[in-house]
Homo-oligomer: A and B are copies of this chain.
């Protein structure tokens, strides 16, 4: 049995907790939190909730630690620190800062002899894999990534910061016309505005100026100004009833040509439609946790990414079984 620890018990931590139950070779050993442990109610009976300050005492009781904090401030500190003591997995998703994060984590994991796998999830994660395979098998080609339909937490937060807004949710939606242009193999150059639209559901405070709220949202730099944005005002009841989920998804499409004169076109399309963004991300984290433990048992150390892991390392099945059933 692979003994797993969870560090951080928000949406992602809860997702990892339930994903572990779907993997018969894994068991949850402890959940670590920076809150007061008594205040955290987990959903697995008989499992300890501990303060993060005590985590090092679990050094020999955990085979892999899954870090479930945020990319902005938690993971840049926690992942290198925890890699001193544990094999670790994180979902660090600030694309531009991945090389820097890799370097910090690699240094720490090399020194401790542990394995770290960073930026695991679906983007970065499964989508990165698809971009890599696409580039490898169709070198004379181009890839496109679309996100949605799904909830963007960052944009929802931005809406909620607007004066007069009580609550709100934002959906990122890929533009069907752009998707079809890409699928045609035409290699279109697409502006930000042409690829995605943004749809907002907003609960205004009583007496707030809705026209002003709508204008402020639509003109918000870095968030909405570059997009065609729709704003719907709804009641708090409607928001809670119809928009409480955290769905997401998207598309990676690679088109390319083969033949002596590029006479044959090919389209590779990968898509995800996810009811729960954090639960799917958690499922990917757990699969790579298994790979980390296996690599560690083989004497590997240092930082890895999804691009460095053979697919067969993600499953419990033996190579023979996989060859027989999946090839």
Task: Enumerate chain A interface residues (CB-CB to B < 8 A).
Answer: 15, 18-19, 21-23, 43, 95, 98-99, 102, 119, 124, 126, 128-129, 131-133, 135-140, 183, 258-260, 263-276, 279-280, 282-284, 287, 305-312, 314-315, 317, 319-320, 322-324, 326-327
Given contacts A99-B324, A264-B276, A308-B311, 14 further A-B pairs with CB under 8 A are A18-B259, A99-B323, A132-B314, A137-B287, A258-B275, A258-B280, A259-B279, A263-B275, A268-B272, A269-B269, A269-B272, A269-B273, A307-B312, A308-B319
- Given contacts A280-B137, A283-B137, A284-B137, A326 and B132 within 8 Å (CB-CB): yes
- Given contacts A259-B279, A276-B264, A282-B258, A124 and B270 within 8 Å (CB-CB): no
Q: Is the CB of B312 within 8 A of A327?
A: no
* CB-defined contacts of A319 to chain B, threshold 8 Å: 307-308
28 pairs across A/B with beta carbons < 8 Å?
A15-B258, A18-B258, A22-B258, A98-B323, A99-B324, A132-B312, A133-B314, A135-B315, A135-B317, A136-B287, A136-B314, A183-B273, A258-B282, A259-B279, A264-B274, A264-B275, A266-B272, A266-B275, A267-B271, A269-B269, A269-B273, A305-B323, A305-B327, A307-B310, A307-B319, A307-B322, A307-B327, A308-B319
Q: Is the CB of B136 within 8 A of A311?
A: yes
CA distance A260 to B44 in the complex (A): 10
* CB-defined contacts of A138 to chain B, threshold 8 Å: 283
Q: Closest chain B residue to A131 by CB distance?
A: B326
CA distance A251 to B311 in the complex (A): 19
Q: Is the CB of A279 within 8 A of B258?
A: yes
Which of B21, B132, B266, B273 contacts A322, CB < 8 Å?
A: B132
CA distance A95 to B325 in the complex (A): 9
CA distance A284 to B258 in the complex (A): 11
CA distance A120 to B202 in the complex (A): 51
* CB-defined contacts of A326 to chain B, threshold 8 Å: 128, 131-132, 135, 307
* CB-defined contacts of A309 to chain B, threshold 8 Å: 310
CA distance A145 to B117 in the complex (A): 30
